[in-house]
Amino acid sequence: MAQRKLPGKLYDSPPAVRVLPGKEAAPGSGGGLPQGRGFVGRDQRPRPDEGSLAIPPGSHRDARIESGLLAGRPQLHGAALVRPGAPPAPSDMSLPGPPTVPPGEELAQEGGYRAALDAYDRALLAAVLAQANGSIREAARVAGLSRNGFRAKLRRLGL
């Protein structure tokens, strides 16, 4: 095979990549290679500034709770929905009594557990719906359900 020669202009042009001198080129300077800020202290964390030191540690849930409080959303105090700026009334702070559970023999009958659970759900959803002034969207949000899930429960329970 014949060896091909490259044109002379490729040999005469300045190199595209600049070759840096090795360590021996600059004694005491750590070598001839440049050390940018990206490499110096790469394994070190940045020092916190005053602003970040003023923030108490916490989880992302704490931040979500605080942002919800600061956003002016309604808050649930006791068993009542209290709007921001309105102090809760003493009646709002009272919790409902324990759910009424049928005696053991009624629960032992077929469907007794389901009937007791449905009765509890029926009372709870009716109370949440009344508290939200009939708004299904707001009642579902307070109950922690999706709007469609809340509506399906209402239909199933006959409310």
The 10s digit of each residue's pLDDT in 111-144 is: 677 777 888 888 888 888 888 888 888 888 888 8
65, amino acid identity: I
- Render pLDDT for 65-105 as a digit per residue (tens, 0 to 9): 555 555 555 555 444 555 566 665 655 555 556 556 555 56
Residues 90 and 149 in one domain: no
Bridge-based pairing of strands 80-82 and 75-77 is antiparallel
Residues 85 and 135 in one domain: no
Range of 131's domain?
96-159
CA dist., res. 122 & res. 159, Å (int): 8
pTM: 0.34
What's 106's domain CATH number? 1.10.10.60
Q: Cβ of 14: how many Cβ atoms within 10 Å?
A: 5
> Does residue 23 lie in a domain region?
no
The sign of the dihedral angle between the CA atoms of 86, 75, 139, 137 is: positive
Residues 6+ apart with CB under 8 A from 33: 20
Residues 6+ apart with CB under 8 A from 158: 122
Residues 65 and 84 in one domain: yes
Domain end (from 78, 94, 110): 94
> Does residue 105 lie in a domain region?
yes
Bigger pLDDT: 76 vs 155: 155
